[in-house]
């Protein structure tokens, strides 16, 4: 699978390494890390730009993808060392083959934090599609079969008492195609990440019904690596995790209160500027779509089990997943039950 053409080589091996040699490594690692270009990638870019990976002896190359499934395939194939993105059936199928390991949390669809949103065309809005309940019998666009937006459709169906069969779910092979379909009224609605949903609304090309996390919160994604890395390269994995968690803490300090509420901190402006440059998105737009993260990258283990069960029930996973093995207890921290 090919990543997007835009790549960012973001290592800080020079001045940062000289000024912060506390964890200077005898061996330096070069790590390729896959992300989606959404606010959920903020902590990863912070860790790279601010030198957190470099302090751990890791020269980090961030590789941007348009959808989550090819990213997971690239991890399994050895083209990437780490990934941090939303769950998908593609990821869980790889997990069923025992080739990937979850090592930390990524973002979470949480009340009060715009993440995945339901947008509708202006025409559909005028015809009365103005509530989550109203999508029954309508077309809903998602990027790919088994993607996080597809799972969001399933969550809405469960929440509001209709079946997936009651919806015309269309798989459009990527966010750019969804943007075009919404703009040209070829769809009634779509589930989209906040950066794209807010862009459509700002440009008056769609209306926002609401955010999935406000009505049915869930563990959106995780940081993961290959089983080979997890087993054979614990120094690399632990170094990555120290850098990644440092990025998570900086992100949380900038945007999330100690009580878990959306509040700008003292470093919000500088962090937005860093993310704006890295994600090639206006800072004002990113501010409206800040994703919730746990500052220590702790994962909701029971919710991962629920997601595996849903994908299996839809026939999207070919074999059973050993969730106990997938959640690598050598590395992952879990939220208290």
Pick the last residue of a domain from 187, 216, 245.
Answer: 216
Using a 10 angstrom Cβ sphere, with 0-12 exposed, 13-18 middle and 19 or more buried, the burial of residue 130 is: middle
Per-residue pLDDT, 173: 86
Global pTM?
A: 0.86
Residues 151 and 32 grouped into a single domain: no
In a domain, 336, yes or no: no
In a domain, 1, yes or no: no
Residues 254 and 314 grouped into a single domain: yes
Give me 109's structure tokens. Answer: 């669809």
In a domain, 332, yes or no: no
Q: Over range 204-209, report the average pLDDT.
A: 94
In a domain, 331, yes or no: no
The answer to whether 230 and 101 have CB atoms below 8 angstroms apart is: yes
Query: Quick one: which of 95, 82, 87 has its CA closest to 56?
Result: 82
Q: How many CA atoms lie within 13 A of 189 on its CB side?
A: 34
Contacts of 204 (CB under 8 A, 6+ apart): 122
**If you ran DSSP here, which 8-state letter would residue 31 be given?**
E
Q: Over range 52-81, report the average pLDDT.
A: 92
Residue 196 sits in which domain range? 116-216
- What CATH number is given to the structural domain containing 181? 3.40.190.10
Query: Quick one: which of 116, 114, 122, 168 has its CA closest to 141?
Result: 168
CA gyration radius, the chain: 19
User: Count of residues for the chain?
Assistant: 337
Q: With bands split at pLDDT 50, 70 and 90, how would you rate the model's confidence at 2?
A: very low
Per-residue pLDDT, 26: 60
CA 83 from chain centre, in angstroms, equals 10
Residues 302 and 316 grouped into a single domain: yes
What's the pLDDT tens digit per position in 216-270? 999 999 999 999 999 999 999 999 999 999 999 999 999 999 999 999 999 999 9
Residue with the larger pLDDT of the pair 143 and 102? 102
Pick the last residue of a domain from 170, 186, 216.
Answer: 216
In a domain, 284, yes or no: yes
Collapse the DSSP code of 64 into the 3-class scheme (helix H, G, I; strand E, B; otherwise coil) and give the result.
strand
Structure-token match 């993961």, residue found: 224
Q: What is d(CA 132, CA 142) in angstroms, rounded to the nearest whole number?
A: 15
CA 72 from chain centre, in angstroms, equals 12
Q: At what angle do helices 89-96 and 301-313 cross, to 10 degrees?
A: 100
Evaluate if residue 272 carries a pLDDT over 70.
yes
Residues 78 and 161 grouped into a single domain: no
What's the pLDDT tens digit per position in 14-51? 334 333 444 444 689 999 999 988 889 999 999 999 99
Number of domains the chain contains:
2
Q: With bands split at pLDDT 50, 70 and 90, how would you rate the model's confidence at 174?
A: confident
Pick the last residue of a domain from 216, 251, 269.
Answer: 216
Q: Over range 143-167, report the average pLDDT.
A: 93
Instruction: Give residue 236's region: left, alpha or beta (phi > 0; psi -120 to 50).
Output: alpha
Residues 183 and 232 grouped into a single domain: no
What's the pLDDT tens digit per position in 116-141? 999 999 999 999 999 999 999 999 99
Structure-token match 């009340």, residue found: 111
In a domain, 251, yes or no: yes
């Amino acid at each position: 699978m090919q990543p997007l053409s835009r790549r960012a080589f973001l290592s800080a091996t020079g001045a940062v390494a000289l000024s912060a040699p506390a964890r200077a490594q005898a061996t330096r690692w070069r790590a390729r890390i896959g992300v989606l270009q959404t606010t959920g990638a903020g902590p990863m870019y912070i860790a790279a730009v601010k030198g957190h990976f470099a302090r751990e002896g890791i020269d980090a190359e961030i590789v941007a993808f348009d959808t989550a499934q090819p990213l997971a395939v690239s991890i399994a194939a050895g083209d990437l060392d780490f990934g941090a993105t939303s769950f998908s059936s593609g990821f869980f199928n790889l997990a069923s083959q025992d080739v990937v390991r979850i090592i930390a949390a990524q973002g979470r669809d949480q009340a009060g934090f715009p993440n995945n949103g339901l947008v509708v065309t202006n025409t559909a809005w005028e015809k009365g599609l103005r509530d989550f309940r109203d999508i029954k019998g309508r077309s809903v666009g998602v990027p790919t079969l088994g993607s996080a937006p597809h799972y969001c459709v399933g969550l809405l169906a469960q929440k509001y008492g209709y079946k997936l069969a009651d919806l015309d779910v269309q798989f459009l092979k990527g966010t750019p195609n969804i943007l075009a379909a919404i703009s040209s009224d070829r769809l009634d609605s779509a589930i989209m990440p906040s950066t794209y949903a807010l862009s459509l609304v700002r440009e008056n090309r769609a209306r926002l019904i609401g955010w999935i996390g406000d009505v049915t919160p869930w563990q959106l994604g995780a940081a993961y690596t290959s089983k080979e890395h997890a087993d054979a390269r614990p120094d690399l994995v632990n170094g990555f995790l120290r850098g990644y968690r440092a990025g998570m803490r900086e992100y949380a300090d900038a945007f999330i209160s100690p009580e878990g509420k959306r509040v700008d901190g003292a470093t919000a402006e500088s962090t937005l500027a860093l993310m704006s440059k890295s994600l090639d998105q206006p800072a004002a737009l990113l501010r409206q779509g800040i994703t919730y993260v746990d500052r220590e990258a702790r994962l909701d283990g029971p919710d991962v089990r629920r997601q595996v069960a849903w994908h299996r029930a839809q026939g999207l996973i070919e074999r059973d997943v050993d969730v106990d093995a997938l959640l690598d207890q050598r590395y992952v921290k879990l939220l208290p039950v």
